[in-house]
Amino acid sequence: MNKRIISLLPSATEIVCALGLEQNLVGRSHECDFPESVKNLPVCSEANFSYGLSSADVDVKVKEILADALSVYTVKREVVKELAPDVVITQDQCDVCAVSLKEVEEALENYLDKSARIISLQPNKLDDVFTDIQTVADALDVFQTGAALIEDLQERVDIIRHKLKYVESRPTVTCIEWLEPLMVSGNWIPELVSIAGGKSILAEAGKHSPFVQWDDIRLADPDIMVVMPCGFSIERTMKEMNILLELPGFAELSAVKNNRLYITDGNQYFNRPGPRIVDSVEIIAEIIHPKLFNFGYEGNGWIKFSF
């Protein structure tokens, strides 16, 4: 397989590498950072806003860009042309999360010296993630490798399901995807919570993450709260935790009173629908049922928030 691949999506980069084809990657997005070695690749995209903004400022800036019918991200056409890819992988799931399919199509249209196949991923559920892995594997002529990878990932999920088969305790869980304005995690996250032995509230599996009012969360009074802002590391989230802590009645939540408030690395795990989505299931299982599961992610993939 000698195809030259550009991945404009962190999860797609991880898929390509998990399929054993890292040597075929010739370019990446500005956000692709796993495995560490891909950071040496040429960067083929850039964000049209400054990094380091607060949650509220990011939200305002992104909405301004979209309101003007502009793209949140830009494809570096000259870099892509020079790299001469055979395959470009992007997404059509969220214009805010990564370079969109439309942006890639417009960037490549009549621009490359040769035709390149565009693969667009659009996962909404866990099975969609597995399907996307196989789609990429098929396009890159490694069908069997893809099937084997998916089988391994599904076995890890089944281990968790089996261990919880006779566990009746299903605590309610609210996962926070954005801090200001408040969003709860939708798409595949409610399903991950369910697999890990919890009951996700305020978001529906397979549907986009909804904005919510603080009173919605306060009245739902979850047993467990997991904070996993999109694109944020644990350290980045810690800098903005006061947004939650200062909300009226926050200290009275059952999750807070029972010391069941957690922060995860949303950027590396939960927000990336690639092979490490199963790591995310394992993290949630550790959080919800610590007496049953210990996969070793505490301190790296998640921490318990201490007041």
Which pLDDT band holds residue 56 (cuts at 50, 70, 90)? confident
Q: CATH top-level class for 168-304?
A: alpha beta
* pLDDT tens-place string over residues 241-275: 999 999 999 999 999 999 999 999 999 999 999 99
Which pLDDT band holds residue 97 (cuts at 50, 70, 90)? low
In one-letter notation, the amino acid at residue 234 is: I
Separation of alpha carbons 6 and 28, rounded Å: 6
Nearest to 140 by CA among 7, 11, 268: 7
How far from chain centre, in Å, is Cα 153? Answer: 17
Q: What is the pLDDT at residue 69? A: 43
H/E stretch holding 28 reads strand 25-28
Separation of alpha carbons 102 and 94, rounded Å: 11
Q: What is the pLDDT at residue 70? A: 46
Which regions of the chain carry the CATH code 3.40.50.1980? 5-122, 168-304
* Strand-pair category, 45-47 with 172-178: unpaired
Q: What is the CATH number of domain 5-122?
A: 3.40.50.1980
Distances (CA, A) of 56 to 66, 106, 270: 16, 30, 21
Strands in 192-305 per DSSP E = 199-200, 224-227, 261-264, 302-304
Average pLDDT, the chain: 90
Decide: residue 134, CB within 10 A, 0-12 exposed, 13-18 middle, 19+ buried.
middle
- Which of 3-12, 85-94, 148-157 holds the top average pLDDT? 148-157
**Is residue 177 classed as helix, strand or coil in its secondary structure?**
strand
pTM over 0.85: yes
Which pLDDT band holds residue 278 (cuts at 50, 70, 90)? very high
Which pLDDT band holds residue 96 (cuts at 50, 70, 90)? low
* pLDDT exceeds cutoff 70 at 37: yes
Nearest to 128 by CA among 172, 201, 192, 210: 192
Separation of alpha carbons 79 and 84, rounded Å: 9
Separation of alpha carbons 17 and 275, rounded Å: 10
Longest dimension (CA), the chain: 62
* pLDDT tens-place string over residues 105-135: 776 776 776 788 889 898 999 999 999 999 9
Assess contact for 44 and 73: CB atoms under 8 A: no
* pLDDT tens-place string over residues 138-159: 999 999 999 999 999 999 999 9
Q: What is the pLDDT at residue 92? A: 75
